[in-house]
Structure 1
């Protein structure tokens, strides 16, 4: 039976509404099939050791146990309050805590992390996350020392570490040429030594070092290397270093994610703390 009168009007109104809704959906901005939105830039201050290692350097198997290596961890605000007795009981004997970043950030958990590791018997140290695009190496070394990154000859305090790796906030090399990056790092290391009397430890990944310093070899003679590589071996080292002092081998370890090996015995680690 043909639809007449008010029934036909109601049907037409309903169809018109459906068509309008479809047109509205089709007119919305949309992404091409398979396209992904760009990754969000994290807030300043949230960077930590190894933040870019998995994305840029991959992840492999865990290392085989070696009697001549000593287990350690590194922590930042991401770990919050750390269960130091648990880590001590699991065999961890040294720890680094993030103290600062750039000249705009200090770790709000630094006291509990730095002091807590010491209190359970660990040898401890502090590290600085470098942002070479925000201020000079000299300025950031001073900021680090002034905010927890100093050193004392107590046999329990390791020299401060410079964390220099992929920029989580922008260009991987912070907009610097290899020669400019080398100059920035040299300025930081020189000022740290002037302020503390110790050579800072340098934390980096080989692939970043090649990309952003041109695989510069000039720091190896005086600077202990802390290599980042999540694999069954530390692999190729940056130019100039024939061995590493420390190795961050995983970001998924027990209690806290970032676990490390000191390339020697506990007595040798104490020697590094003392400056021998």
Structure 2
């Protein structure tokens, strides 16, 4: 495995830190997420004609409105209450807390999230080859300016254009990478289709080819291996549980439960875990599977 993947051997022992202090910090993080991400437009004027927050988005979602986990929430549900589950608590010392946001969160108060303990953020940049997040600049630069390590993600729509075309669109509209120590590699959000057919009308082999086309093009443009965000159930159904990417592409697993559970074929461990999704208005909660030092290594290309 390349060193950009973070294994469990990098985790610090739980016993080195008082449980009460860590859980107290956790409570502050969760409270701040619910408060800040529920208040779009709180820090500056909104761009013209943004997508209004949708507590209960229509089915199907309109083009451009998909967020990281939109399809997951529709197909697998979320019975969690937003708190870090038991597995996350056991490894909390070595699990850096982060958020992912899209246009639904509007202008985010990043300083409030930073003060609560959030240390990384992923921002939706693009979708297909026609949509750009109108709040991207405030969200991407704002998280960086308060000290967070940040990155961008692309919501894939494989039925609309090729993987190469979408990778180019992403890299040219916010998904690029620079070795500044605070920019994470781009993410391919490949999940249940919120607009129609679960696998976007593609066979298993065609989907694997599409993903390969995307990640190869993105690497040629940026020098970085794409992080792949998905769920085990979708990956099994739509790629035939392909093991083709586990040795090169870090895994961001979405599973809204008390543990990460079974991973897709090819990956022995996850790099990020989205453990709950409260929908587009509140935003999503994530843990990095390693220490802050290891997150910095990932940002630097190691």
1:136 pairs with 2:162: yes
Distance 1:76 1:268 in 2: 25
1:273 pairs with 2:299: yes
Cα deviation digits, residues 151-178 of structure 1 (max 9, x gap):
0000000000000001111101000000
* Match for residue 142 of structure 2 among 112, 116, 119: 116
Distance 1:232 1:173 in 2: 27
Q: CA deviation at 1:198?
A: 0.5
* Match for residue 48 of structure 1 among 35, 60, 67: 67
Flag the structure with larger Rg: 1
Distance 1:140 1:59 in 2: 29
Distance 1:99 1:226 in 2: 17
1:85 pairs with 2:111: yes
**Contact (CA 8 Å) 2:78, 2:277: kept in 1 or not?**
no
CA RMSD of aligned residues (A): 1.3
* Match for residue 176 of structure 2 among 150, 155, 161: 150
* Match for residue 186 of structure 2 among 143, 149, 160: 160
Match of 2:207 in 1: 181
Cα deviation digits, residues 110-144 of structure 1 (max 9, x gap):
00000000011000000000000000000000000
Match of 1:63 in 2: 85
Distance 1:256 1:155 in 2: 28
Match of 1:223 in 2: 249
Match of 2:289 in 1: 263
1:252 pairs with 2:274: no
Distance 1:100 1:52 in 2: 16
**Contact (CA 8 Å) 2:177, 2:183: kept in 1 or not?**
yes
Q: CA deviation at 1:43?
A: 1.4
**Contact (CA 8 Å) 2:102, 2:133: kept in 1 or not?**
yes
The runs of 5 or more residues in structure 1 that have no matched partner are 1-38
Give the alignment's TM-score, normalised by structure 1. Answer: 0.83
**Contact (CA 8 Å) 1:60, 1:232: kept in 2 or not?**
no
Distance 1:83 1:274 in 2: 26
**Contact (CA 8 Å) 1:98, 1:107: kept in 2 or not?**
yes
* SS, match of residue 216 in structure 1: coil
* SS, match of residue 159 in structure 1: coil
* SS, match of residue 52 in structure 1: helix
Cα deviation digits, residues 41-76 of structure 1 (max 9, x gap):
221100110002233223244413221100000000
Match of 1:196 in 2: 222
Q: Evaluate the alpha carbon distance shift between residue 43 and residue 60 of structure 1 in structure 2; reply closer, same or farther with a 3 A threshold.
A: closer
Count residues in correspondence. 237
Q: Evaluate the alpha carbon distance shift between residue 41 and residue 256 of structure 1 in structure 2; reply closer, same or farther with a 3 A threshold.
A: closer
* SS, match of residue 160 in structure 2: coil
Match of 2:196 in 1: 170
Distance 1:80 1:56 in 2: 25
Q: Which has the higher contact order (CA 8 A, sep 6+)?
A: 2
Distance 1:260 1:55 in 2: 19
Match of 1:236 in 2: 262
